[in-house]
Structure 1
Amino acid sequence: MSERYEYQPHRLLRKRVRDIPSGVEGELMAVSTEDVSDSPGYGRWVDLAYIRDASGREFTTAVTNVEPA
Structure 2
Amino acid sequence: MSEVYEYVPHRLLRKRVRDIASGVEGELMAVINENVSSSPVDERWVELAYIRLSSGREITTVVDNVEPV
TM-score norm. by structure 2 comes to: 0.97
Aligned to 2:40, what secondary structure does the other structure show?
A: coil
Unmatched runs of 5 consecutive residues or more in structure 1: none
- The corresponding residue for 1:61 is 61
Unmatched runs of 5 consecutive residues or more in structure 2: none
TM alignment of 1:1-69, pairs within 5 A: 2-69=2-69
Name the count of aligned residue pairs.
69
TM-score norm. by structure 1 comes to: 0.97
The structural deviation recorded for 1:52 is: 0.1
Aligned to 1:59, what secondary structure does the other structure show?
A: strand
Cα distance in 1 for partners of 2:8, 2:35 equals 14
Cα distance per residue 1:9-50 (max 9 Å; x no partner): 000000000000110000000001000000011100000000
Cα distance in 1 for partners of 2:6, 2:31 equals 9
The structural deviation recorded for 1:53 is: 0.4
Could you tell me the percent identity over the aligned residues?
75
Extract structure 1 runs of 4+ deviating beyond 2 A. Answer: none
